């Protein structure tokens, strides 16, 4: 079939495809250990779910305002004021979308187009390159290294910069590596971007899932005009199926992103927005939930790392944040795609290979699963690699 040039480059999401394949095998009765999906295998906060139920029971089922329910936009602004150094966030600078994915798409589509270059440090979440391409712009990959902890710096960015550079993606803690940008590095990058008129799109969806002293937000440094913060409830609040994410940026951009959303999907699902407003707005319950989750994840991270370190075929680096182990394959004679295939076929363990993240030779495992699932997964990895 002949498709338009709009989607000529479009590849399906590799991570979603792998998760779907693992689900399919499970449905066929194969005892799959699924460490591929990028989601915490833990339930959403009850108080958030209840808020969605209450909204439906109260008949709040009409079209929500396109940029989001006022109470959710206010809750997001309040959440940022409470959890970053920012003292005042205007609810008008917030757009609510169907996940970070849509918020990011809206902003990229509004900001970038043909001839524009957008810098993306690798390894990266695969949707970044695809979304930039859908906007007609060109992703420019800036490699980072294992030895330097998978973070970039101003020197490397400056080397990649041309007069066409219009944007930079940051993702800290990062998917797939868990790398965290400390305040000094983040400040230097923000100042560099500001000097050159470059938009910074900071995806902070894992910000609350940190295993180091601090995980700074772009809202912890003086925020230049061309800054967009992206976050949502899919990870730290275990609410990926609610499909709520948001972007915070200059009101003019948010208005344009909202106009775009108004012509495509309209406002995000109303009861989901009510749930997100509770998750973010009920600060005491919210902080208790996040703190419990991070304790659980810290334990999983510790036991998982101990198990992985016993597997000689893998180089292991402790992630500073997020929910993944990103391991390096010592044997470079086979592609990580092939190794991931073997793991699924021979051990029924689903992982994600490094190729879609722009860094072949690695495998990503989600450790935000139940403890027995992680234990069994690591045991199968040991059987596979130590055989
Ligand atoms: C870095 C990153 N950003 C955004 C998302 C998607 O978030 P949402 O569920 O809000 O669309 C993911 C999900 O895996 C992610 O890893």
- Our answer on whether the CB atom of 176 is closer than 6 Å to any ligand 1 atom is no
The answer to whether the CB of 61 falls within 8 A of the CB of 49 is no
The answer to whether the CB of 191 falls within 8 A of the CB of 215 is no
Closest CA to 323 of 248, 374, 376: 374
- Our answer on whether the CB atom of 133 is closer than 6 Å to any ligand 1 atom is no
**Residue 313 binned pLDDT confidence (cut-offs 50, 70, 90):** very high
Residues 172-186, buried b or exposed e (16+ Cβ, 10 A)?
Answer: bbbbbbbbbbeeebb
Residue ranges per structural domain of the chain: 5-44+286-386, 47-281
| pLDDT the model gives residue 11 | 79
- Our answer on whether the CB atom of 356 is closer than 6 Å to any ligand 1 atom is no
Query: What digits encode the pLDDT tens for the residues 357-372?
Result: 999 999 999 999 999 9
Q: Is the peptide bond before 176 cis (omega within 30 degrees of 0)?
A: yes
Strands 324-329 and 314-315: antiparallel
Query: What digits encode the pLDDT tens for the residues 72-115?
Result: 999 999 999 999 999 999 999 999 999 999 999 999 999 999 99
- Our answer on whether the CB atom of 34 is closer than 6 Å to any ligand 1 atom is no
Task: Name 329's bridge partners.
Answer: 314
- Our answer on whether the CB atom of 232 is closer than 6 Å to any ligand 1 atom is yes
Q: Cα 260 to the chain's mean position, in Å?
A: 22
- Residue 12 predicted with pLDDT over 90: no
317 Cα: distance to centroid of ligand 1 (angstroms): 22
Angstrom distance (rounded) from CA 167 to CA 165: 6
Query: What digits encode the pLDDT tens for the residues 320-339?
Result: 999 999 999 999 999 999 99
1 Cα: distance to centroid of ligand 1 (angstroms): 31
Please provide the CATH number assigned to the domain covering 47-281: 3.40.640.10
Q: Which residue has the tokens 């101003």?
A: 154
| pLDDT the model gives residue 235 | 98
SS3 of 62, please? Answer: coil
Mean pLDDT confidence for 47-69: 98
Task: Name 210's bridge partners.
Answer: 321
| pLDDT the model gives residue 19 | 77
Percent of the chain that is helix, strand, coil (3-state, to 5): 45, 15, 40
Pocket test for ligand 1, best of 100, 169, 181 (most atoms within 8 A of CB): 100
| pLDDT the model gives residue 9 | 77
Q: What is the DSSP string of 4-49?
A: -GGGTT----HHHHHHHHHHHHHHTT---EE--SSS-SSPPPHHHH
- CATH 3.90.1150.10 for domain 5-44+286-386: yes
162 Cα: distance to centroid of ligand 1 (angstroms): 28
- Residue 187 predicted with pLDDT over 90: yes
Q: Which atom of ligand 1 is nearest to the CA of 98?
A: 11
Q: Which atom of ligand 1 is nearest to the CA of 244?
A: 10
- Residue 384 predicted with pLDDT over 90: yes
- Our answer on whether the CB atom of 353 is closer than 6 Å to any ligand 1 atom is no
Pocket test for ligand 1, best of 230, 235, 240, 242 (most atoms within 8 A of CB): 235
Mean pLDDT confidence for 200-216: 98
Tokens of 220: 């912890």
Q: Which alpha helices (DSSP H) does 112-216 contain, by range? A: 127-134, 154-160, 183-195
Angstrom distance (rounded) from CA 128 to CA 30: 33
SS3 of 234, please? Answer: coil
What kind and span of H or E run contains 365? strand 362-366
The answer to whether the CB of 175 falls within 8 A of the CB of 38 is yes
Query: What digits encode the pLDDT tens for the residues 221-259?
Result: 988 899 999 999 999 999 999 999 999 999 999 999 999
| pLDDT the model gives residue 14 | 73
The residues near 35 (Cβ < 8 Å, ≥ 6 apart) are 349, 350, 351, 365, 366, 367, 369, 373, 374, 377
Q: Do domains 5-44+286-386 and 47-281 have the same CATH topology?
A: no
The residues near 27 (Cβ < 8 Å, ≥ 6 apart) are none
Pocket test for ligand 1, best of 102, 104, 234, 279 (most atoms within 8 A of CB): 234
Q: At what angle do helices 336-347 and 14-27 cross, to 10 degrees?
A: 10
Angle at 382 between CA 359 and CA 311, to 5 degrees: 60
Angstrom distance (rounded) from CA 198 to CA 170: 12
Angstrom distance (rounded) from CA 55 to CA 61: 8
Closest CA to 241 of 19, 14, 10, 18: 19
Residue nearest atom 7 of ligand 1, based on CA coordinates: 100
Residue nearest atom 11 of ligand 1, based on CA coordinates: 99
- Our answer on whether the CB atom of 100 is closer than 6 Å to any ligand 1 atom is yes
What is the pTM for the complete model shown?
Answer: 0.97
- Our answer on whether the CB atom of 231 is closer than 6 Å to any ligand 1 atom is no
Mean pLDDT of the chain: 96
| pLDDT the model gives residue 67 | 98
Mean pLDDT confidence for 7-24: 80
- Our answer on whether the CB atom of 358 is closer than 6 Å to any ligand 1 atom is no
225 Cα: distance to centroid of ligand 1 (angstroms): 24
Mean pLDDT confidence for 44-67: 98
Q: Which atom of ligand 1 is nearest to the CA of 101?
A: 11
| pLDDT the model gives residue 320 | 98
Pocket test for ligand 1, best of 38, 205, 232 (most atoms within 8 A of CB): 205
Angstrom distance (rounded) from CA 61 to CA 75: 20
Query: What digits encode the pLDDT tens for the residues 209-229?
Result: 999 999 999 999 988 899 999
Angstrom distance (rounded) from CA 143 to CA 150: 8
Angstrom distance (rounded) from CA 115 to CA 76: 34
């Amino acid at each position: 079939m002949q498709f338009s040039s709009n989607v000529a480059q479009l590849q399906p999401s590799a991570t979603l495809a792998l998760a779907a394949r693992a689900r399919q095998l499970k449905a066929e009765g194969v005892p799959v250990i699924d460490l591929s999906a990028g989601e915490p295998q833990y339930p959403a906060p009850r108080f958030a779910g209840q808020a969605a139920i209450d909204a439906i029971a109260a008949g709040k089922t009409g079209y929500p305002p396109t940029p989001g329910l006022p109470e959710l936009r206010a809750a997001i602004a309040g959440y940022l004021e409470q959890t970053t150094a920012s003292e005042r966030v205007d609810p008008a600078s917030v757009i609510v979308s169907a996940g970070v994915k849509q918020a990011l798409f809206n902003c990229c589509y509004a900001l970038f187009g043909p001839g524009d270059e957008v810098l993306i440090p690798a390894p990266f979440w695969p949707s970044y390159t695809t979304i930039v391409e859908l906007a007609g712009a060109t992703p420019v990959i800036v490699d980072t290294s294992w030895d330097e902890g998978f973070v970039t710096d101003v020197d490397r960015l400056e080397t990649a910069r041309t007069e066409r550079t219009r944007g930079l993606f940051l993702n800290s803690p990062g998917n797939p590596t868990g790398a965290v940008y400390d305040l000094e590095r983040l400040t230097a990058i923000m100042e560099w971007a500001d000097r050159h008129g470059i938009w910074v799109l900071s995806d902070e969806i894992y910000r609350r899932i940190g295993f180091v002293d601090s995980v700074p937000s772009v809202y912890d440094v003086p925020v230049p005009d061309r800054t967009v913060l992206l976050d949502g409830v899919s990870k730290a609040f275990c609410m990926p199926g609610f499909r709520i994410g948001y972007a915070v940026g200059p009101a003019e951009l948010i208005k344009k992103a909202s106009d775009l959303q108004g012509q495509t999907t309209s406002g995000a699902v109303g009861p989901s927005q009510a749930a997100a407003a509770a998750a973010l707005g009920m600060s005491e319950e919210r902080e208790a939930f996040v703190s419990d989750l991070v304790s659980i994840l810290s334990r999983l991270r510790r036991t998982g790392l101990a198990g992985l370190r016993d597997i000689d075929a893998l180089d292991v680096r402790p992630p500073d944040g997020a929910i993944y182990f990103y391991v390096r394959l010592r044997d470079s004679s086979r592609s990580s795609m092939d190794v991931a295939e073997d793991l699924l076929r021979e051990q029924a363990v689903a992982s994600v290979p490094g190729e879609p993240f722009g860094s072949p030779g690695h495998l990503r495992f989600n450790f935000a699963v139940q403890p027995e699932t992680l234990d069994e997964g690591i045991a199968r990895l040991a059987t596979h690699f130590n055989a």
